[in-house]
Amino acid sequence: MDKNTYDVVIVGGGIMGSSTAYFLMSNDARLKVAVVEMDPTYTRASSALSMANTRIQFSLKQNIQISQYAFEFLERFEDKMVVGEDKPNIAYRREGNLFLVDESGRSTAREALDLQKNLGCKVEWWSLEKIKQRYPLYDLSGLAGGTFGPEDGHLDAYAVLMGFKAKARSLGAEYINDEVIQLMSVGGRISGVKLASGEKLTSKFVVNCAGAWAAKVARTTGVELPVEPVKRQVFVLDPAVKPEGPLPLTFLPSGLYFRTETGNQILVGKSLEEDPVGFDFNWDDKRFTEVLWPELAAFVPAFDTLKLIRGWAGLYAVNTLDGNAILGEWPGLKGFFLANGFSGHGLQQGPAVGRYISELIIGTPPILDLSIFRPERILENKPLSEAGLV
Ligand SMILES: Cc1cc2nc3c(=O)[nH]c(=O)nc-3n(C[C@H](O)[C@H](O)[C@H](O)COP(=O)(O)OP(=O)(O)OC[C@H]3O[C@@H](n4cnc5c(N)ncnc54)[C@H](O)[C@@H]3O)c2cc1C
């Protein structure tokens, strides 16, 4: 095979690209796989800027199954990703997620809870009394209760990304530091990519794993994806009153969420309608002091005295059709595969998605049927419904 000819070219080496490369190589070590990544420092990649939460608490069966797969995979991740003497440490801490609801949200939450339980997940309905007993700092006025996922948690996202990448490389995947500026196709079939350096890579399979840049990449071959880069911000706080023990990732009905971080810090965030679309990575302390803090302090009065230590901004790749993943081959362009539109829950979907895309390309029956996320639904305008979007 010619030096610039590959079996599969992956555009973007974040969690999706690196997981896909790992599964391709571990399924068939003879494959020649290239991962083109324009920023190997991952400064702007969502995978490195995420809250790194993992949860079972979704309402769509397939999103729950994706998380079940992730839970099992992540428990064994450090052993699976060993390269020589190097074993990643992903700091996987399962401290739980608590989704609070008011009366209007009770029935939707209970429906999702029943589905999760029917699928064999550990998740519980918590009364206000139970919540107050466990987390006495919370002011629960106006709420009806909550669902608690004891196996939900968080991890070191960068370490997971590096773990996948190192293992994929050790199995033979080639990472190329360059930018894909053009997808190439001939007669309704993808044929490769053009790079900013002037090189051309030839391949019958190209996978779009470009995260918030996915629509820009797809457009170079005339494919319009409903995926927008939307700025989201997270703030790191040092409260005067330190909670006893870890607080779970706690979601209020308004969308505000927070949890404890190592070193007695609190991480807090909230997706807002007015969050700008575009490639803007500046965080704004006024967003915290004027918008989030009053809401946080009303719910946890002890947090009325705290120090804002820092913040950061990253991009959700928002699927404007339905906020869910877009997975599979684009109809009308053979060999062009998508792993896009993960909005705010893609990190935990990395393992199952990488596996699924590799199975579609290699042609083995998928262990998880994720065809509900097929790209055709965009053209048919058939959105999926998921109540657990954050
Ligand atoms: C603030 C925030 C909090 C989040 N919290 C969570 C959470 O708690 N749990 C969760 O599961 N998810 C969370 N997410 C979402 C999650 O981070 C993403 O869904 C996931 O990381 C997407 O991975 P990706 O590989 O698709 O994208 P990315 O990690 O962004 O990777 C895409 C890569 O493609 C590269 N690229 C783009 N265009 C090109 C090109 N033309 N040529 C070469 N390379 C290119 C980019 O440089 C980038 O490295 C959060 C996201 C943000 C921003």
Q: How far is the CA of 214 from the centre of ligand 1 (A)?
A: 10
- What is the arithmetic mean of pLDDT over 229-239? 98
Q: How far is the CA of 191 from the centre of ligand 1 (A)?
A: 25
What beta strand segments (E) does the chain contain? 5-11, 33-37, 53-54, 97-101, 124-126, 145-149, 153-154, 174-177, 180-186, 189-195, 200-208, 227-239, 249-251, 257-261, 265-269, 306-319, 326-329, 336-340, 342-343
Give the span between the Cα atoms of 100 and 251, in whole angstroms. 6
Looking at residue 227, its pLDDT comes to: 98
DSSP assignments along 350-390, one per residue: HHHHHHHHHHHHHTPPPSS--GGG-THHHHTT-----TT--
Render the burial of 132-163: b for 16+ CB within 10 Å, e for the rest.
Answer: eeebeebeeeebbbbbbbebbbbbbbbbbbbb
Looking at residue 263, its pLDDT comes to: 85
Q: How far is the CA of 45 from the centre of ligand 1 (A)?
A: 5
- What is the arithmetic mean of pLDDT over 81-92? 97
Q: What's the Rg (C-alpha) of the chain? A: 21
Looking at residue 262, its pLDDT comes to: 86
Whether the pLDDT of residue 22 is over 90: the answer is yes
Question: Rounded to a whole number, what is the distance in angstroms from the first to the last CA of the chain?
Answer: 45
Name residues contacting ligand 1 (CB within 6 A). 11-17, 36-39, 42, 45-47, 49-53, 179-180, 209-213, 217, 232, 234, 314-316, 342, 344-348
Alpha carbons within 13 A on the beta-carbon side of 99: 23
Whether the pLDDT of residue 184 is over 90: the answer is yes
Whether the pLDDT of residue 1 is over 90: the answer is no
Q: How far is the CA of 229 from the centre of ligand 1 (A)?
A: 10
CB count within 10 Å of CB 7 equals: 17
**Which residue's CA is the closest to the ligand 1 atom numbered 37?**
210
Q: Counting atoms of ligand 1 from 1, which one is nearest the CA of 161?
A: 29
Q: How far is the CA of 154 from the centre of ligand 1 (A)?
A: 16
Q: How far is the CA of 156 from the centre of ligand 1 (A)?
A: 14
Mean pLDDT for the chain overall = 97
**Which residue's CA is the closest to the ligand 1 atom numbered 15?**
344
- What is the arithmetic mean of pLDDT over 180-206? 98
Using the Cα atoms of residue 51, residue 56, residue 61 and residue 67 in order, give the sign of their dihedral.
positive
**Which residue's CA is the closest to the ligand 1 atom numbered 18?**
346
- What is the arithmetic mean of pLDDT over 236-245? 95
Q: How far is the CA of 160 from the centre of ligand 1 (A)?
A: 13
Q: How far is the CA of 313 from the centre of ligand 1 (A)?
A: 12
Q: Evaluate whether 146 touches 156 at the Cβ level (below 8 Å).
A: no
Residues of the chain above pLDDT 70, percent = 100
Q: Counting atoms of ligand 1 from 1, which one is nearest the CA of 234?
A: 1
277-287 pLDDT per residue, tens: 999 999 999 99
Give the span between the Cα atoms of 356 and 374, in whole angstroms. 12
Whether the pLDDT of residue 42 is over 90: the answer is yes
Q: Across-strand partners of 316?
A: 230
Q: Which of 9, 41, 47 to mutate to test the pocket of ligand 1 (most atoms within 8 A of CB)?
A: 47
Question: Residue 267 in 3-state DSSP?
Answer: strand
Give the span between the Cα atoms of 117 and 26, in whole angstroms. 32
Whether the pLDDT of residue 319 is over 90: the answer is yes
- What is the arithmetic mean of pLDDT over 70-89? 98
Looking at residue 261, its pLDDT comes to: 93
Looking at residue 87, its pLDDT comes to: 97
* pTM summary value: 0.98
- Give the model's confidence band at 271: pLDDT under 50 very low, under 70 low, under 90 confident, else very high: very high
The structural domains of the chain, ordered by start, are 5-82+156-226+321-379 (3.50.50.60), 97-152+229-316 (3.30.9.10)
Tokens standing for residue 161: 């990304």
Q: Evaluate whether 277 touches 230 at the Cβ level (below 8 Å).
A: yes
366-390 pLDDT per residue, tens: 999 999 999 999 999 999 999 999 9
Q: Which of 49, 93, 347 to mutate to test the pocket of ligand 1 (most atoms within 8 A of CB)?
A: 347
Q: Counting atoms of ligand 1 from 1, which one is nearest the CA of 233?
A: 1
Looking at residue 115, its pLDDT comes to: 98
Q: How far is the CA of 28 from the centre of ligand 1 (A)?
A: 26
- Give the model's confidence band at 260: pLDDT under 50 very low, under 70 low, under 90 confident, else very high: very high
Q: Evaluate whether 171 touches 154 at the Cβ level (below 8 Å).
A: no
**Which residue's CA is the closest to the ligand 1 atom numbered 19?**
346
Looking at residue 16, its pLDDT comes to: 98
- What is the arithmetic mean of pLDDT over 131-153? 98
